[in-house]
């Protein structure tokens, strides 16, 4: 989401402010919006079961285990503690681990369950069922199928978007497109889906966070119970009262591959499918922008008395920059170095929420923190593709390597600012890009949230211009008594790296088809097709007319990434170089 910055009168800022502070201050737990009907038998069964003892599985979703060719994790929640929660797969019955948390604002307790299914065969399809002794559907429990990852160099498909929200429009930033987006994933039948952060904006509904997560989980179940959905945390997963980085809800609900970092598990991770290493990062650790939970004011945000938590004053924000103390970047470098020494790994795809290369005008823009901390590593180890969310739009960069120094200016004064502008290795939009020569960045914050952004920055002469955060935009008082906001990005630059932008809608899904190639030392490719949902627009920014969600996803563009296979080539570390603009 645009993350609540700026002091203008735009609709998104009014929404953001009302969601973070103004509503929060006036709505008690009993006045939270009524939950919308959610699909699936699990939810219907709630009417039949005793609420206090209802262990009916809901919000069922899969993630990869540590080895996606041989393991998956089945996770779910239930309205009350489940008795003997378990997964049945073939003749095996696998007990689930219970993990709970108590929301630090509403005081509601959430029960989640996680069953690690190990010892599977690569590239095989399995049926499974989820149940418990107090499952309202025990006679006919929820069942689904999944397919494990192939082993070795193999063709496969994955999909991606971020910024999904829920279909329950009672919640701030939720919109009906969220349901169609889940349907779109299913329509493409990928092996798995990457969900690039800002999952449901629970933090913008601060006294109803677990209910928002529930609606998100039940919406996703239509796809995520059938194929793994692999998330990264975004700024809206940072919730007041929920742990040192505010990620307690996220971490409780997802079981993700180990990163081997005690105390910081679940926040970042990697997994491997065929010849591709996927690296999922927690960009809030490195970005300058302050966009986590926020109390705009004028009233304080008062947690439910049962939490024992103190009221949060107007102007409070949850800023976690640097939370890993460098551990994530050290892990990233070690992970990338190991991958590039491995002749069986061709591709490295990084997934994070915030953007190094976004020219969104009404959204957040780019962040120097990612450019400083991680782009030199992406250069050195030839990361091929970076998938982001955060800005609710579609944008593609040219392959970039190194950076142009002194290419930015202060947004207010016009003074020179070094934004470390990523340097395009070509500006010819040929449709085929060799990513061994530069990294392609995609903005895919186009999942389903009620705030599509399809307007991009431009100078008077038409040159594409990007906003860049080069320092923290901590909350400042506005002209309205007691009300705070967080300023927009402090710098701008000509976005010479920006290759393609979708100005017709902020909704879409990217589909990636990996072709491993046919011979050692030959070429491998990933064909990328971005589909967009034209016309899906809560309010047309030009006409002001309300639009409607749509399930009609059509092709916006197709392009191909190529690189030499690693099994016929000695790899040498590249240097990240600067170029005077
Ligand atoms: Fe975001």
Distance 304 CA to ligand 1 centre (A): 26
pTM of the model as a whole: 0.91
Whole-number Å distance between alpha carbons of 506 and 508: 7
Q: What is the pLDDT of residue 569?
A: 65
d(CA 485, CA 367): 19
Task: Tell me what pLDDT residue 450 has.
Answer: 87
Distance 235 CA to ligand 1 centre (A): 5
Work out the pLDDT band at 47, boundaries 50, 70, 90: very low
Could you write out the DSSP letters of every residue in 71-105?
A: -EEEEEEESSPPSS-EEEETTEEEEPEEEEEE-TT
Residue 298 has pLDDT above 70, yes or no: yes
540 pLDDT more than 80:
no
Question: Which tokens in the block code for residue 58?
Answer: 């809901």
Q: Please give the pLDDT value at position 542.
A: 66
pLDDT in tens, 311-347: 999 999 999 999 999 999 999 999 999 999 999 999 9
Per-residue model confidence (pLDDT) at position 260 = 97
- According to the model, what pLDDT value does residue 32 have? 33
The Cα 526–Cα 359 span in angstroms is 25
Q: How far is the CA of 292 from the centre of ligand 1 (A)?
A: 8
Average pLDDT over residues 349-369: 97
* Mean of pLDDT over the chain: 90
Name which of 525, 575, 513 is nearest 347 in CA terms. 525
Tell me phi and psi for residue 245, to 5 degrees: -110, 10
Residue 84 alpha carbon to ligand 1 centre in Å: 37
Distance 287 CA to ligand 1 centre (A): 11
Mean pLDDT over 369-379 rounds to 98
User: From CA 402, how far away is CA 252, in angstroms rounded?
Assistant: 38
d(CA 548, CA 544): 13
Distance 128 CA to ligand 1 centre (A): 34
C-alpha of residue 1 to centroid of ligand 1, in Å: 4
Q: Using pLDDT thresholds of 50, 70 and 90, give the confidence band for residue 17.
A: very low
For ligand 1, the distance from its centroid to the CA atom of residue 125, given in whole angstroms, is: 35
For range 520-530, the mean pLDDT: 96
Residue with tokens 């996703």: 220
Cα separation, 140 vs 423, whole angstroms: 57
Q: Tell whether the model's pLDDT for residue 16 goes beyond 60.
A: no
Measured in Å, residue 537 CA sits from the centre of ligand 1 at 19
**Residue 255 reports pLDDT greater than 60:** yes
What pLDDT band is residue 536 in, cutting at 50, 70 and 90?
confident
* 384 SS3 class: coil
Residue 525 above 80 pLDDT? yes
DSSP 433-492: EETTS-BEEEEE--SS-S-----B-B-TTS-BEEEEE-S----EE-SSTT-EEB---SEE
Interval between CA 324 and ligand 1 midpoint (Å): 19
How close is the Cα of 425 to the center of ligand 1, in Å? 28
pLDDT > 80? residue 553: yes
pLDDT(197) > 60: yes
- The pairing of strands 508-515 and 523-532 is antiparallel
What pLDDT sits at residue 52? 53
- Residue 500 burial (CB < 10 Å; 0-12/13-18/19+)? middle
pLDDT of residue 401: 98
Measure CA 354 to chain center: 9
Radius of gyration over alpha carbons of the chain, in Å? 23
pLDDT at 118: 98
**Ligand 1 centroid to residue 51 C-alpha, Å:** 34
pLDDT over 70 at 376, yes or no: yes
Share of residues in the chain with pLDDT > 90 (%)? 84
* Ligand 1 midpoint to CA 290 (Å): 10
4 Cα–ligand 1 center, Å: 10
Whether cis (ω within 30° of 0) applies to the bond prior to 298 is yes
Q: Can you give the pLDDT at residue 20?
A: 31
- C-alpha closest to that of 7 among 492, 541, 485: 485
* CA 289 to centroid of ligand 1, rounded, Å: 10
Model confidence at 23: pLDDT above 50: no
Ligand 1 centre and the CA of 282: distance in Å? 12
Question: What is the average pLDDT across 110-132?
Answer: 98
> Residue 496 has what pLDDT?
98
403 or 14, which is more confident? 403
Q: Kindly write down the DSSP assignment for every residue of 109-173, as one continuous string.
A: EEEEEEEEE-SPPTT-EEEEEEE-TT-TTTTS-EEEEEEPPP-SS--EEEEEE-----S-TTSTT
**pLDDT band, residue 353 (cuts 50/70/90):** very high
Residue 451 pLDDT class (50, 70, 90 cuts): confident
Give the CA count within 13 Å in the CB-facing half-sphere of 554. Answer: 8
Rounded distance, CA 491 to CA 480, Å? 25
Q: How many CA atoms lie within 13 A of 475 on its CB side?
A: 25
Per-residue pLDDT, 430: 96
């Amino acid at each position: 989401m645009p993350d609540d910055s700026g002091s203008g009168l735009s609709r998104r800022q009014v929404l953001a402010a009302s969601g973070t502070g103004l509503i929060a201050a006036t709505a008690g737990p009993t006045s939270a919006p009524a939950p919308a009907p959610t699909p699936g038998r699990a939810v219907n069964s709630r009417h039949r079961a005793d609420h206090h003892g209802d262990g009916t599985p809901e919000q069922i979703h899969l993630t990869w285990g540590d080895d996606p060719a041989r393991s998956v994790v089945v996770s779910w929640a239930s309205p009350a503690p489940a008795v003997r929660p378990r997964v049945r797969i073939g003749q095996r019955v696998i007990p689930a681990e219970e993990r709970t948390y108590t929301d630090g604002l509403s005081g509601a307790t959430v029960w989640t369950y996680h069953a690690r299914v190990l010892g599977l065969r690569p590239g095989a399809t399995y049926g499974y069922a989820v149940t418990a002794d107090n499952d309202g559907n025990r006679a006919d429990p929820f069942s689904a199928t999944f397919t494990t990852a192939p082993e070795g160099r193999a063709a496969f498909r994955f999909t991606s978007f971020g910024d999904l929200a829920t279909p329950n429009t009672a919640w701030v930033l939720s919109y009906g497109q969220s349901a169609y987006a889940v349907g779109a994933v299913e329509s493409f039948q990928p092996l798995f889906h990457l969900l690039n952060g800002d999952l449901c904006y629970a933090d913008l509904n601060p006294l109803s966070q677990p209910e928002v997560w529930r609606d998100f989980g039940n919406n996703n179940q239509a796809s995520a119970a059938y194929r793994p959905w692999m998330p990264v945390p975004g700024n809206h997963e940072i919730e007041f009262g929920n742990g040192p980085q505010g990620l307690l809800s996220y971490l409780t609900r997802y079981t993700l591959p180990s990163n081997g970092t005690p105390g910081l598990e679940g926040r970042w991770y990697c997994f491997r499918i065929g010849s591709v290493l996927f690296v999922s990062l927690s960009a809030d650790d490195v970005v300058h922008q302050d966009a986590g939970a926020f109390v705009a004011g004028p009233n304080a945000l008062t947690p439910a008395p049962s939490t024992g938590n103190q009221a949060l004053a107007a102007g409070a924000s949850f800023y976690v920059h640097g939370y890993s103390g460098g551990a994530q970047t050290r892990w990233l470098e070690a992970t990338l170095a190991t991958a590039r020494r491995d002749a069986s790994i061709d591709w490295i795809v990084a997934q994070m929420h915030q953007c190094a290369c976004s020219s969104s005008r009404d959204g957040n823009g780019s962040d120097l923190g990612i450019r400083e901390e991680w782009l030199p590593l992406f250069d050195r180890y030839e990361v091929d593709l970076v998938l982001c969310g955060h800005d609710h739009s579609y944008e593609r960069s040219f392959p970039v390597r190194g950076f142009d120094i002194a290419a930015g200016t202060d947004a207010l004064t016009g003074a020179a600012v070094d934004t470390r502008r990523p340097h395009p290795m070509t500006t010819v939009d040929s449709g085929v890009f060799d990513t061994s020569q530069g990294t392609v960045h995609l903005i895919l914050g186009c999942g389903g949230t009620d705030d599509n952004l399809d307007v991009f920055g431009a100078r008077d002469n038409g040159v594409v211009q990007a906003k860049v955060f080069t320092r923290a935009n901590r909350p400042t008082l506005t002209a309205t008594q007691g009300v705070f906001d967080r300023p927009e990005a402090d710098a701008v630059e000509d976005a010479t790296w920006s290759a393609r932008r979708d100005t017709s809608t902020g909704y879409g899904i990217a589909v990636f088809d990996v072709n491993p190639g046919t011979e050692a030392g030959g070429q491998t490719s990933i064909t990328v097709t971005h589909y967009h949902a034209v016309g899906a627009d809560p309010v047309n920014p030009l006409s002001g007319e309300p639009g409607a969600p749509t399930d009609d996803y059509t092709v916006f563009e197709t392009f191909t990434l190529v690189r030499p296979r690693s099994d016929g080539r000695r790899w040498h570390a590249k240097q990240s170089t600067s170029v005077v603009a």
